[in-house]
């Protein structure tokens, strides 16, 4: 209580011609239309670096941030104001800002874009408007396509194509990524049920991505198994792609859950291998069917640096562990012979096929 009182007193002293709103024990918003008041507060923060006060015999230095809005209407429109304050807090946290943060036109544009995409995503979930694209994966041994990765896409009448990176980033932030993952899986199962079995196309499975957030859900196993069963497709026609960035932190309980998938016949693939810093010991304990080498790994190999040795050793290690090796992001024909010599089993990239809408994907195989 003493800390709260000191904080309020300090803010009032900084800007007496303003309004102070306490949003939480540690977050306050101070509004003023008085330019001189604002300048005094900004100068104080620039000179002192950070506010500090004493409480219970200790000196505390909480972060203090002043946000400057270029146009008053941004404050009077409550939806814009709330969104921009949240944006300022995120930026301050990411940059470690203490002091002054200027809300500029780019910040406003980014905030408006975020809100527009978020709205389009919600509408797509409600109306089942997400589209599925499929990128075929080529076997160097069999010299034909043998599987495909399903990729969810969002096309909005006003925004146009929303990139997968932007889509997933916002979905993980607002908590809808689990719903989107489930929708993607169900759509893939319906595609297989309608057009399959996959064997008629020479394919052994279609893989779907499982997000970091999805992996920690208590109902992960039950939800995925239920969807596959409800849509009437075989378990071995589905593969689940998990990212390398979270594989290093898997605990024994999650590994047991993943093993339950493999016992059902659902295959697991480790995606983006080499993009982060995996715990190799933990990775070796995963019940993987295949490892997908991140495109940057092969780019490092081609550069001739010491990382080339790492790429070679990683391939051999995966092979010894019994995992298939898939090279991602392969776009040039001159890369194929090198990958074959290195022991890579399969290729995913523009050289063989780009991600295709479902109709074009079917046409390719028909």
143: left (phi over 0), alpha (psi -120 to 50) or beta: left
Question: DSSP secondary structure string, 40-86?
Answer: HHHHHHHHHSS--EEETTEEE----EEEE-S-THHHHSHHHHHHHHH
Q: Are 332 and 351 in contact (CB under 8 A)?
A: yes
Average pLDDT value for the chain: 84
Q: Are 245 and 273 in contact (CB under 8 A)?
A: no
Q: What is the mean pLDDT of residues 8-28?
A: 71
Which two structure tokens, joined as six digits, stand for 187?
Answer: 């759509």
Quote the pLDDT of residue 12. Answer: 78
Q: What is the pTM of this model?
A: 0.80
End-to-end CA distance of the chain: 72
103-155 pLDDT per residue, tens = 777 777 888 888 899 999 999 999 999 999 999 999 999 999 999 999 999 99
* Cα–Cα distance, 145 to 346 (Å, whole number): 9
Quote the pLDDT of residue 48. Answer: 64
CA nearest 163: which of 174, 149, 152, 177?
A: 152
Q: What is the mean pLDDT of residues 160-168?
A: 91
What are the φ and ψ backbone dihedral angles of 279, each rounded to 5 degrees? Answer: -80, 100
Quote the pLDDT of residue 298. Answer: 84
CA neighbours closer than 13 Å in the CB half-sphere of residue 295: 10
Helix (H) or strand (E) holding 332: none
Q: What is the mean pLDDT of residues 340-344?
A: 94
Quote the pLDDT of residue 119. Answer: 93
313-337 pLDDT per residue, tens = 889 999 999 999 999 999 999 999 9
Mapping DSSP to helix (H, G, I), strand (E, B) and coil, where does residue 227 land? helix
38-84 pLDDT per residue, tens = 777 777 766 765 566 676 777 776 666 667 776 766 666 666 677 77
Q: Find the largest Cα–Cα distance for the chain.
A: 77
Which two structure tokens, joined as six digits, stand for 156?
Answer: 């909005």
């Amino acid at each position: 209580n003493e800390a709260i009182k000191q904080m309020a007193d300090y803010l009032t002293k900084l800007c007496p011609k303003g309004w102070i709103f306490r949003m939480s024990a540690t977050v306050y918003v101070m509004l003023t239309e008085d330019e001189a008041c604002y300048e005094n507060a900004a100068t104080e923060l620039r000179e002192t670096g950070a506010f500090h006060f004493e409480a219970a015999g200790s000196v505390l230095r909480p972060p203090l941030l002043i946000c400057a809005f270029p146009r008053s209407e941004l404050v009077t429109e409550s939806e814009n104001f709330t969104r921009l304050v949240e944006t300022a807090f995120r930026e301050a946290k990411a940059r470690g800002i203490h002091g002054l943060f200027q809300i500029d036109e780019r910040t406003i544009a980014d905030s408006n874009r975020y809100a527009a995409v978020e709205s389009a995503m919600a509408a797509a979930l409600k109306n089942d408007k997400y589209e599925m694209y499929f990128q075929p994966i080529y076997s160097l041994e069999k010299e034909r396509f043998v599987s495909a990765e399903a990729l969810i896409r969002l096309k909005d009448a006003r925004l146009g194509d929303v990139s997968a990176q932007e889509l997933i980033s916002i979905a993980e932030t607002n908590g809808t990524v689990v719903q989107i993952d489930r929708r993607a899986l169900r759509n893939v199962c319906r595609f297989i049920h309608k057009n399959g079995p996959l064997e008629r196309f020479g394919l052994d499975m279609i893989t779907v991505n499982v997000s970091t957030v999805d992996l920690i859900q208590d109902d992960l196993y039950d939800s995925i198994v239920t969807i596959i069963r409800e849509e009437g497709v075989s378990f071995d026609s589905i593969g689940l792609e998990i990212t390398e960035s979270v594989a290093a932190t898997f605990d024994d309980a999650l590994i047991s859950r993943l093993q339950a998938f493999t016992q059902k016949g659902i295959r697991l693939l480790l995606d983006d291998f080499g993009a982060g810093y995996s715990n190799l010991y933990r990775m070796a304990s995963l019940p993987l069917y295949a490892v997908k080498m991140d495109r940057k790994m092969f780019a490092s190999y081609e550069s001739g640096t010491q990382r080339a040795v790492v790429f070679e050793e990683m391939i051999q290690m995966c092979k010894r562990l019994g995992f298939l090796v898939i090279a991602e992001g392969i776009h040039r024909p001159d890369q194929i012979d090198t990958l074959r010599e290195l022991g890579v089993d399969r290729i995913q990239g523009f050289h063989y096929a780009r991600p295709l809408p479902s109709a074009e994907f079917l046409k390719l195989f028909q």
